[in-house]
DNA sequence: CTACTGAGTTCGGATTTCGAACTCAGTCTC
DNA sequence: GAGACTGAGTTCGAAATCCGAACTCAGTAG
């Protein structure tokens, strides 16, 4: 097989997505982002909502803050209290989340097969597509070059 | 099939995405899917490409097979050899992957900001959008109802 | 004075991950 | 036909993570 410029062994850069998954690719981080999108901001609320262990939550939030996905905001002074809010970068993870939710709905028979993701203004179930500004068209994953979907085969 | 029966700690069913992340939400699984999309199929190639430890790869592949994302295919008899191919469900994870790659490129500090994802026919950098069949429009994450993106704010 | 809140820390034990070396059947090279 | 090689794993002990439960610390409320 041919490796195209991706060195991932020791301390090498690795591709962008590998770094990203090193930050966000654990069992909790994406769930934390989702909780953030649902409006959860406080330590104890994350804890209760996800059932994550406190020390792990502490460490995870610290890391997500460090990588600019959440920010730690003082929201009260008397007893000093902080909460965690998604940054713009954190919000920008929502397409990935939506894709995961859609996949979950389609391939996990389990439980409600009710559609949970809709276009807010009209209530229609949403589709996810790629958009080409030049061509003014939408297209599916097979016309994407770069993840390797269409490399060789 | 697929994800039926995945429980969280307390034995509760949990929402669809929680189950999904329980299967796919670790440091390696998504990278394995990506490697699969890039055409990698053999045990040793996954190993070399990702630098994943062999015992972990064994366990991870077994799980992904169990949940219908990869299938284990005998491709040779003389010495019996198996390889791992993405199933349809596995391929269907590509939108999530693409979303992550795009996010990585845009927000991940470090490394080249060269565009790696393009619309194959024309070479334009792709955008990712949601598509409403009823309205015949694309829209961004803020018009999505269901992940909580539009709760308050 | 006591109880409670919120955001953490500390603890010891259980689980997961790691790299390196080993296995095992068959095949290729000399 | 002896030795090296291949591919798909296992086995090992050490190191890193994860866990729940209990504790801390500042301030507030009764």
Virtual torsion, Cα B63, B64, B70, B73, nearest 10 deg: -10
**Region of A15 on the Ramachandran plot (φ > 0 left; ψ -120 to 50 alpha; else beta):** beta
Across all strands, nucleotide nearest B77 (CA–C1'): C26
Helix, strand counts (H, E) of chain A: 6, 6
Q: Is residue B16 part of a domain?
A: yes
Q: What pLDDT, on the 0 to 100 scale, is given for residue B45?
A: 96
Confidence of residue B29 (pLDDT cuts 50, 70, 90): very high
Q: Is the CB of A113 under 7 A from strand C?
A: no
Mean pLDDT over B45-49 rounds to 95
**Residue B72 CB coordination number (10 Å):** 12
Q: With respect to residue A40, please indicate whether it lies within any of the assigned structural domains.
A: yes
Query: Cα(first)–Cα(last) distance of chain B, in Å?
Result: 39
Paired tokens of A45: 């609320």
| Average model confidence (pLDDT) across chain B | 77
C-beta separation of B104 from B111 below 8 A: no
Q: Is residue A9 part of a domain?
A: no
The answer as to whether A147 is a domain residue is: no
Nearest chain A residue to B142, by CA: A120
Domain assignment of residue A136, yes or no: no
Q: Could you tell me the two tokens for A100?
A: 């995961």
Give B30-98 as a DSSP string: HHHHHHHHTT--SHHHHHHHHT--HHHHHHHHHHHHHTTSEEEEEEETTTTEEEEEE-HHHHTTHHHHH
- With contacts defined as CB-CB under 8 Å, which chain B residues touch A7? none
Assigned domain for B127 exists: no
Nearest C-alpha in B relative to A52: B9
Distance CA B95, CA A102 (A): 10
CB contact under 8 Å between B130 and A98, yes or no, is: yes
Listed ranges A99-113, A136-150, B4-18; the one with the highest mean pLDDT: A99-113
> Would residue A26 count as lying in a domain?
yes
| pLDDT, tens only, A46-70 | 999 999 999 999 999 999 999 999 9
Q: Does pLDDT of B72 surpass 50?
A: yes
Contact A39 B134 (CB under 8 A): no
Which chain A residues contact residue B104 at CB under 8 A? 15-17, 19-20
Residue A151: inside a domain, yes or no? no
Q: How far apart are CA A119 and CA A60, in angstroms?
A: 31
User: Which residue's structure tokens are 């329980």?
Assistant: B22
- Assign residue B53 the CATH number of its domain: 1.10.10.10
Which domain covers residue A96, as residue numbers?
16-110
Task: Report DSSP letters for A44-100, one per residue.
Answer: HHHHHHHT--HHHHHHHHHHHHHTTSEEEEEEETTTTEEEEEE-HHHHTTHHHHHHH
Number of domains chain B is built from: 1
Question: Over 50: is that where the pLDDT of A34 sits?
Answer: yes
Q: Give the C-alpha separation, A57 to A43, whole Å.
A: 8
On strand D, nucleotides with any atom < 7 Å from a protein CB are 6-12, 18-22, 26-28
Average pLDDT over residues B86-96: 93
């Amino acid at each position: 097989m041919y490796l195209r410029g991706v060195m991932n062994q020791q301390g090498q850069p690795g591709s962008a997505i590998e770094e990203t998954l090193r930050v966000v690719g654990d069992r909790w981080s994406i769930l934390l982002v989702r909780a953030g999108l649902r409006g959860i901001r406080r330590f104890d609320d994350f804890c209760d909502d996800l059932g994550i262990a406190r020390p792990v939550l502490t460490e995870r939030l610290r890391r997500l803050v460090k990588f600019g996905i959440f920010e730690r905001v003082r929201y009260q002074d008397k007893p000093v209290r902080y909460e965690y809010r998604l940054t713009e970068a954190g919000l920008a993870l929502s397409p990935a989340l939506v894709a995961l939710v859609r996949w979950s709905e389609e391939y996990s028979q389990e439980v409600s097969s009710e559609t949970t993701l809709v276009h807010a203004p009209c209530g229609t179930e949403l589709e996810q597509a790629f958009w080409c500004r030049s061509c003014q068209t939408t297209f599916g994953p097979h016309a994407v070059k770069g993840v390797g979907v269409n490399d060789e085969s």
